[in-house]
Amino acid sequence: MSTEVSTPEKASTPSSPPPDEGNGGESLVQRVVKMQAFQILLVLLVIVIVFSTLAPNNFANFGNARSIVLNASILAILGVGMTFVIVTSGIDLSIGSVMVFSGVIGAKAMIAVGGDSWGTAFVGIGVSLATGLAWGLFNGFLIAKAKVPPLIVTLGSLGMALGLAQIITKGVDIREVPQVMQDEIGYGNVVGQLPVLTVIAVVVVAIGIVVLHHTRFGRYTYAVGSNEESARRVGVKVDRHLIKVYALSGVLSGFAGVLFLAQFGTTAIAGQTQTNLNVIAAVVIGGTSLFGGVGTIFGTVVGLFIPAVLQNGFVIVGIQPFWQQVAVGAVLIAAVYVDQVRRASAARGGKSTRPSLRFGAKKSSPVEQGE
Amino acid sequence: MSTPEATGQPLLELRGINKSFGAVHVLHDVDFAVYPGQVTALVGDNGAGKSTLVKALAGIYPADSGEYLFEGKPVTVNGPKDSADLGIEVVYQDLALCDNLDIVENMFLGRELHRGSVLLDEPEMESKARETLASLSVRTVKSVRQSVASLSGGQRQTVAIAKAVLWNSKVVLLDEPTAALGVAQTRQVLDLVRRLADRGLGVVLISHNMVDVFEVADRITALFLGRVAADVPAKSVNHTQVVELITSGRSGEMGIAPATAAQSA
């Protein structure tokens, strides 16, 4: 029944941003209200309020909020990288597998070094980051230089990374993780009950926001996703930029892999098959357009919490938790629909109202004058 | 400087430019000059080599042979960055603006201003963009923070041209700036083109529209099948002559000798 409560809110979102022509003199408040990330935040608030009303004791308490946030922490780190990738109008399906592979290699390295010290832990972290970076560069190079569509490249590396992880471990999860890593990072708290993992995620998200919105790297990410050809004409090194963006996603996947080790003490080789889709769903729900050029990391974080809160809330309220998948699917479709409507109203002058999705292929130059 | 005959030193000069794409020889020994304070119209039929010449100027397709002089000095232009550094701004027919970025972001794309070494200086970029638009008497744009996707064709053209002014460009190349515009918007853009030249910039206008060409151009360079058919002051020719130059490469005494023209066909 709580799905029904949140439905009217979803349905009303498409009509709320009026297709205001010549939106001059628009205040900051108006601009924020029109942001999809803000609208989705309202949806989240409604969901939270509904569950809090239905289960004031079990849902709305610190311990439960803490567990929701903790569960979303690693996904948030992956979401930062995925937001950059999708803003370039690309896609990275390999994050879950790269996470597993990096975790496996990191764990192997720590076993090889031996011991339970911080030194061992740092070796593991460094190795995992480097492994993730290598996969990201592999993806980026094939996408930018070999011009293989991102969907295919990362589908390929998804299989390769997972397969190699299984070959290396012979299909058996590694469960030897330095105790210090599990105690201090996985279960550690900063000031009282604030999980270390969450603090790390918040830092990564904050850096991601600054880089995406306030640096040249971020600006070029939007430019490449918006119009690759015009970015190239003003001197943006588009290929190199794409490689960097996929490398970033790889590094963050590697980082997520080692944090997962710290949290659960196992490589969980079979446990990440849905991770890529969950993260992509969160990014899209948060208002980042699959067509590229539009999106925020803040939106991605909000987009992560909708599935997380629904899952948690359904269990507490006593609804079959399988409803979560149904609800998240509906929110996802609604979010993309809102994006479509907004793009159609933003493009004046009778352009096609249905831009074709193109992350399957790198955009060809829009007009190569036939002269 | 404003008299059409006044040559003086060209801001930008190409001498004997050749460019081939595989077996197709697109530009044959093309000479082309742009003078400060003048609008040079580059005319020619489809396939005459106008766009290729512009891309050679911009460094997108570096020429196979020939000289490239800027302010009298030979220079090498091998990429868009090189031409931008010289002060050459190209406004392409498709405008090549990023739809999802706003006006300020587009005007500064590739040359962002920084506060410190990492963070972008948004307030400074915004005020400079606003100043530039005001200095060009652009009043149709309401907010410099609106996305380019929400602008009309004329406004988009204006933003693309304002970008050239913002960067103190010395030469501006406009590829068919009025092709997709209505009457009033064409008027605005042509006024803007004239204003650029009056500021002392060298302006190159590529157009199929003879009315536009005769309205703003000081010089006319006609291309025919990759060769320069004529390079003349606009006042010394009439509409019919230019159309003849475009379509047959010759008009009376002007133009390419028939033998040469036949060779390139």
Q: In the 3-class helix/strand/coil scheme, how is chain B assigned residue by residue?
A: CCCCCCCCCCCEEEEEEEEEECCEEEEEEEEEEECCCCEEEEEECCCCCHHHHHHHHHCCCCCCEEEEEECCEECCCCCHHHHHHHCEEEECCCCCCCCCCEHHHHHHCCCCCEECCCEECHHHHHHHHHHHHHHCCCCCCCCCCCEHHHCCHHHHHHHHHHHHHHCCCCEEEEECCCCCCCHHHHHHHHHHHHHHHHCCCEEEEECCCHHHHHHHCCEEEEEECCEEEEEEEHHHCCHHHHHHHHHHCEECCEECCHHHHHHHC
CB A233 to CB B47 under 8 A?
no
Give chain A's domain count. 1
Closest CA to B42 of B179, B171, B203, B185: B203
pLDDT at B3 over 60: no
> Which range in A293-302, A311-320, B44-53, B79-88 is most confidently predicted, on average pLDDT?
A293-302
Note whether A264 and B139 are within 8 A (CB): no
What residues of chain A have any CB closer than 8 angstroms to a CB in chain B? 21-26, 31, 210, 214-216, 219, 222-223, 225-227, 229-236, 292-294, 346-349, 366-367, 369-371
Mean pLDDT of the region A10-16: 36
Contact B86, B27 (CB under 8 A): no
Which burial class, exposed, middle or buried, applies to A108 when counting CB atoms under 10 A from its CB (0-12, 13-18, 19+)?
middle
Question: Which of A341-355, B66-80, B150-164 has the least mean pLDDT?
Answer: A341-355
CATH number of the domain residue A217 falls in:
1.10.3470
pLDDT over 60 at A288, yes or no: yes
Q: Say how far apart CA A53 and CA A56 lie, in whole Å.
A: 5
**Residue A233: pLDDT band with limits 50, 70, 90:** confident
Band of residue A211 on the pLDDT scale cut at 50, 70, 90: very high
The pLDDT value recorded for residue B261 is: 54
Topology given in CATH for the domain delimited by B27-264 = Rossmann fold (3.40.50)
* ipTM at complex level: 0.78
What average pLDDT score do residues B69-75 get? 90
Tell whether A368 is covered by a domain. Answer: no
- Maximum Cα interatomic distance, chain A, rounded to a whole number of Å: 71
Q: Residues of chain A with pLDDT > 90: what percent?
A: 57
**A12 belongs to a structural domain:** no
Classified as helix, coil or strand, A301 is: helix
SS (H, E, C) B167-190: CCCCEEEEECCCCCCCHHHHHHHH
Whether A289 is covered by a domain: the verdict is: yes
Total residue count of chain A as it appears in this document? 371
Top mean pLDDT of A20-34, A207-221, A356-370 is at A207-221
pTM for the model stands at 0.82
pLDDT band, very low/low/confident/very high, at A230 (cuts 50, 70, 90): confident
Query: First-to-last CA distance in chain A?
Result: 62
Q: Do A371 and B52 touch (CB under 8 A)?
A: yes
Does B61 contact A at CB distance below 8 Å?
A: no
Distance CA B23, CA B11 (A): 32
Rounded to 5 degrees, φ, ψ at A275 are -60, -45
Residue B66 pLDDT > 80: yes
For residues A223 and B189, give the distance between their C-alpha atoms in angstroms, rounded to a whole number: 26
Q: Which chain A residues are Cβ-neighbours of B30 within 8 angstroms?
A: none
Q: CA-CA distance, A89 to A362, in Å (whole number)? A: 9
Summarised one tens digit per residue, pLDDT across range A77-136 is: 999 999 999 999 999 999 999 999 999 999 999 999 988 889 999 999 999 999 999 999
Residues A166-188 have a mean pLDDT of: 89
For chain B, report the end-to-end CA distance as a whole number of angstroms. 37
Asked if A367's CB is within 8 angstroms of B93's CB, the reply is yes
Among A220-234, B4-18, B104-118, the range scoring the smallest mean pLDDT is B4-18
| 3-class SS of residue A143 | helix
CB contact under 8 A, A219 and B143: no
Instruction: State both tokens at A370.
Output: 């036939």
Query: Cβ–Cβ of A233/B111 closer than 8 Å?
Result: no
Residue A300 lies in a domain: yes
Of the pLDDT bands very low, low, confident and very high (cuts 50, 70, 90), residue B51 is: confident
Lowest mean pLDDT among A151-160, A357-366, B77-86, B157-166: A357-366
**Predicted pLDDT of residue A357:** 56
Chain B residue with minimal CA distance to A344?
A: B149
What's the Cα-to-Cα distance from A133 to each of A79, A174, A279, rounded to whole Å? Answer: 16, 22, 19
Which domain, by its residues, includes A223? 24-348
H or E stretch covering A42: helix A36-54
Q: What tens digit of pLDDT does each residue of B156-195 get?
A: 888 888 888 888 889 999 988 888 788 888 888 898 899 8
Asked if residue A156 belongs to a domain, the reply is: yes
DSSP class of residue A35 equals -
Mean pLDDT for B30-46 is 91
Check residue A215 and report its DSSP letter: B
Q: For residue A353, what pLDDT band results from cuts at 50, 70 and 90?
A: very low
A96, A64, A90: which is closest to A314 by C-alpha? A64
Residue B150 with chain A: CB contacts under 8 Å: 21-23, 346, 348
**pLDDT value of position A116:** 84
> Residue A280's pLDDT is what?
95
Q: Do A366 and B175 touch (CB under 8 A)?
A: no
Higher confidence at residue B262 or residue B88? B88
Contact A215 B100 (CB under 8 A): no
Between CA A67 and CA A59 the distance in angstroms is 11
pLDDT at A332: 87
